[in-house]
Amino acid sequence: MLKKALPLLAITLFCVSAHAQSDERVNFLIERAQNAYFDLDLDQALRYVDDGLEMCAERCTAVDVGRLQSLRGVIVAAKNPEDREGAKAVFKEALIVDPDAKIDPMVVTPDNQELFDEAKAELAAAGDDIAPGSRMHGQTCGLDEHCQPGLACVSGKCEDRRSRSLDDGDRGERGFVELGYSFGVATAHSNMHATSRPEGIGHGVDPQTDEDRTNDSYILSGTEGCNAPPGEFCVRVNRGLSLFSHGLHIGGGYFVTERVAIGARLRFNPNAGEGTLSNFLLGIRTHIRITDPVETGFHALAIAGIMVGQIQVQPFQDPTVEGDEIARPWAKTGLGGLEVGVKLGYRFHRNVGVYVSPEAYVLFPRVSLGLVATAGVDVAFGHRVKTIVQGTQVLRVRPGDRDGDGIPDVDDQCPDEPEDLDGFEDEDGCPDPDNDGDGIPDEQDQCPNEAEDMDGFQDEDGCPDLDNDGDGIPDTEDECPNEAGPALNKGCPFPDRDGDGVVDRFDNCPDEPGPPEFMGCPQRQLVELDEKEIKIHDSIYFRRNGHVIERRSFELLEQLANVINSHPEITHIRIEGHTDSTGRRAYNVSLSQKRARSVMQHLIRHGKVDRRRLSAHGFGPDRPIIADARTDEEHAANRRVEFRIEVENEP
């Protein structure tokens, strides 16, 4: 029996392989779609094209997808000539996938070629001179980069990046093939028609009355209720009403909807009776899904069907006289019947799984009831998929994904809400309409992954503005975040009381207008305010080798005192005395200290500067401007007095 089953197994697997290969033939489907198009069966043409696009989920090149989409655009244009935009949208899909796509010469016409050229021109125009991120929702584009954050370029327009379904059709496999073995129990009853005659009996002789007791299991037609044709026999049943039966099972089906399949099955065992078709049942079945379609894992279907054929049974017989031998003839059943059952399966792979199928059947008009359990392997093919487009990316979603976001329901925390597939926490399967949680929806948020700082400055764009006024000082440290100002004034602009264009902080005369070259004063200045010091543009002259200030420096010191008194925000100035490196160091340090102190005393006595704002320090030759000075000019440059701003408060 196994030897006879192996060729059937090989034939079945060959058929499955050939069918899977034929499913992948895009050219075949395009040809069928074109034929339907020429026959004006546009709905059927669309179905062929959509079947091809579904097959292209994993295997097709961009060229094949472009050919299918171009043909789809032709069919859409023919089906609804007034919907020019709809046809152009499909042509744009083809051109986005394959920029070199074109309409097949077999179906091209001046009208659809014009639409195709318009779609191509619009895509090209949308891609020219578009600044990245400049296009809003609904505006034309050529690439995703042209659209604002959160949007994608779909058919030449910026759209919400949330995935959209192109095909909400059925999911699950399109078809399946089964190969298994059936084990069953069938009922037998008296007067079932025998498949053979008793050995050595003459025509019209009644086995029940002749001398041969071995053929008492036969009943002559027309006697004891036997209604077999004249000259034939029935089978006596006098022990046991149930009999074991078995046979090879080959079956398959095709889903016409997501849950309903039409199928056929053959049960066959040439060694279980008299004749080649002694155990042969051919049935037509309806399969109805009990569980949702799954790619892998458990699945269940209910089965109901009709069948033709028979299962021959060989009832057990008790001899007429105990100890005698008695024949066990085969009995015919059926010619037709009904069956119901369930199929319980588990797929280890989307294409291959195992199953068991308990069933009950009845055969008639020669009635026989039976229970059958079939176990085997099933092979699924032609999986239906849902097409999801995210921008220009095409996703093919398999069964077990109710919301069609490409994340299996078992891993999806929101199985009924599609993930928005924007690159932010996509693995949880839940849409994130506001990734950064700033209250601005991602489709309106130019920075969907950076929270707006909500400080009242350009909050509507969704992007944080860490330095509103662009002065280089972070708003968290800027006391005037919307007005540019220097770090010296904590990010706030300096005032200009006299309106002369020189800010008060650097204005020697903040209450008298003057030009910038005079440091904001009406007359030329020898003193200049800097951030860290007060610079002098002349020397302070002392008597030779002494610390008495010469009169020619009094004007400079007077201006210096005016500047200090005009800027009370400068609360402390360190006056530094420096000498050259000639002579003894100790002498030079003492001299520099005395000179710095002389300047301080002059500013206090004659300039009326608060003594608490001043201090004097002598550094001698230790801080030269020109190290290793040799010439008189170099030594003169090192002899100086400097005014360092040490403490400054807010103005």
User: CATH number of 175-199+206-381: 3.30.450.90, 2.40.160.20, 1.20.120.790, 2.30.110.10?
Assistant: 2.40.160.20
Question: Are 318 and 292 contacting, i.e. CB atoms less than 8 angstroms apart?
Answer: no
Q: For residue 42, what is the DSSP state?
A: H
pLDDT (mean) for 154-161:
61
The whole-angstrom separation of Cα 512 and Cα 521 is 6
Strand order across the beta sheet in which 527-529 lies? 527-529, 533-536, 640-648, 570-578, 614-618
pLDDT at 551: 94
**pLDDT of residue 171 exceeding 60:** no
**pLDDT of residue 460 exceeding 90:** no
What CATH number is given for 2-128 in this structure?
1.25.40
Token pair belonging to 194: 């025998």
pLDDT at 449: 82
pLDDT at 13: 44
Identify which has the larger pLDDT, 67 or 388: 67
Identify which has the larger pLDDT, 261 or 405: 261
Residues 27, 28, 29, 31, CA torsion sign:
positive
Other C-beta atoms closer than 10 Å to the C-beta of 522 total: 12
Identify which has the larger pLDDT, 435 or 627: 627
Give the percent of the chain with pLDDT over 90: 33
Identify which has the larger pLDDT, 316 or 8: 316
**DSSP readout, 49-94?**
HHHHHHHTTTS--HHHHHHHHHHHHHHHHHH-TT-HHHHHHHHHHH
Token pair belonging to 425: 């926490």
SS3 497: coil
The whole-angstrom separation of Cα 239 and Cα 314 is 11
pLDDT at 260: 92
pLDDT (mean) for 71-90:
89
Residues 6+ apart with CB under 8 A from 15: 177
Q: How far is CA 593 from CA 75, 488, 543, 561, in A?
A: 99, 30, 15, 20
pLDDT (mean) for 191-208:
85
Identify which has the larger pLDDT, 565 or 455: 565
Helix ranges (H only) for 471-626 are: 554-566, 585-605
pLDDT-derived band of residue 246, with 50, 70 and 90 as boundaries?
confident
The whole-angstrom separation of Cα 178 and Cα 229 is 39
**pLDDT of residue 7 exceeding 50:** no
pLDDT at 182: 92
The whole-angstrom separation of Cα 452 and Cα 448 is 9
pLDDT (mean) for 477-482:
81
pLDDT at 305: 95
* Domain boundaries along the sequence of the chain: 2-128, 175-199+206-381, 465-494, 526-648
Give the helix/strand (H/E) hosting 29.
Answer: helix 26-38
**pLDDT of residue 396 exceeding 70:** no
pLDDT tens digits for range 519-559? 999 999 999 999 899 999 999 999 988 999 999 999 999 99
Token pair belonging to 174: 């399109």
Token pair belonging to 201: 């009996």
Other C-beta atoms closer than 10 Å to the C-beta of 551 total: 7
Token pair belonging to 146: 């042209």
pLDDT (mean) for 240-259:
84
β-partners of residue 357 are: 374
Nearest to 641 by CA among 561, 587, 582, 574: 574
pLDDT (mean) for 587-606:
95
Token pair belonging to 139: 């505006």
Residues 6+ apart with CB under 8 A from 85: none
Helix ranges (H only) for 366-415 are: none
Q: For residue 32, what is the DSSP state?
A: H
Phi, psi angles (nearest 5°) of residue 534: -105, 115
Residue type, 62: A
Residues 6+ apart with CB under 8 A from 20: 381, 382
Least confident of 171-175, 371-375, 620-624: 171-175
Question: Are 575 and 614 contacting, i.e. CB atoms less than 8 angstroms apart?
Answer: yes
Residue appearing with tokens 């007034």: 82
pLDDT at 510: 92
CA 444-160-421 angle, 5° bins = 105
Give the percent of the chain with pLDDT over 70: 84
pLDDT (mean) for 202-217:
86
pLDDT (mean) for 89-111:
86
pLDDT at 611: 94
Neighbour-count burial for 147-163, b at 16+ CB within 10 Å, e otherwise: bbbbbbbbbbbbbbbbb
pLDDT at 141: 65
* End-to-end Cα spacing for the chain: 107
pLDDT at 6: 44
Matching fold, domains 175-199+206-381 and 526-648: no
pLDDT-derived band of residue 163, with 50, 70 and 90 as boundaries?
very low
Long-range contacts of 83-91 (CB under 8 A, 24+ apart): 84/115, 87/112, 87/115, 88/115, 88/118, 88/119, 88/122, 89/119, 89/155, 89/156, 91/115, 91/116, 91/119, 91/120
pLDDT (mean) for 589-612:
95
**pLDDT of residue 120 exceeding 60:** yes
Nearest to 424 by CA among 403, 448, 388: 448
**pLDDT of residue 149 exceeding 70:** no
Give the helix/strand (H/E) hosting 113.
Answer: helix 110-127
Residues 477, 479, 485, 487, CA torsion sign:
negative
pLDDT-derived band of residue 174, with 50, 70 and 90 as boundaries?
confident
pLDDT at 392: 41
Fold of the domain built from segment(s) 526-648 = 60s Ribosomal Protein L30; Chain: A; (3.30.1330)
Residue type, 338: L
β-partners of residue 234 are: 193, 219
pLDDT at 642: 96
Question: Are 200 and 206 contacting, i.e. CB atoms less than 8 angstroms apart?
Answer: no
SS3 622: coil
CB-based burial of residue 27 (10 Å sphere; 0-12 exposed, 13-18 middle, 19+ buried)?
exposed
pLDDT-derived band of residue 18, with 50, 70 and 90 as boundaries?
very low
Residues 6+ apart with CB under 8 A from 227: 191, 221, 234
The whole-angstrom separation of Cα 441 and Cα 150 is 9
Question: Are 301 and 287 contacting, i.e. CB atoms less than 8 angstroms apart?
Answer: yes
Least confident of 297-311, 394-408, 612-626: 394-408
pLDDT (mean) for 331-360:
91
Dihedral angle, C-alpha 98, 102, 107, 111, nearest 10 °: 120
pLDDT tens digits for range 277-316? 778 889 999 999 998 877 788 999 999 999 998 888 888 8
SS3 7: helix
